[in-house]
Amino acid sequence: MQATDIMIHISDNLSTDQKYNVECQLRKVEGVIAPRFNKDHLLMIYFNLDKTSSSVLLNRVQTSGYQAQLVGL
């Protein structure tokens, strides 16, 4: 398994419930190990590179209706 993490910045102001829902949606993606918000707008996702990609994860957040972009680490 090749694991890594990415950071996604979400421009929208999310409520606690919205953050929880984003994390739940990401957990449904095969290969996602641990999605979590570090700060209000910063989402860290630890995932298996053999199963998914950063573009898939970013797309999942964006198709949930949020303005989001990858942040370079």
Number of domains in the chain: 1
- DSSP conformational letter for 59: H
- With a cut of 70, list the residues of the chain below it in pLDDT: 73
Token pair in block for residue 72:
């370079």
Burial class (CB in 10 A: 0-12, 13-18, 19+), 56: middle
Distances from the Cα of 27 to the Cα of 13, 24, 44, 69, angstroms: 21, 5, 12, 19
> Would the pTM of this model clear 0.85, i.e. be above it?
yes
Question: With the C-alpha atoms ordered 32, 45, 9, 54, is the resulting torsion angle positive or negative?
Answer: negative
The domain containing residue 26 runs over which residues?
3-71
Tens-place pLDDT, residues 41-56: 999 999 999 999 999 9
What's 32's domain CATH number? Answer: 3.30.70.100
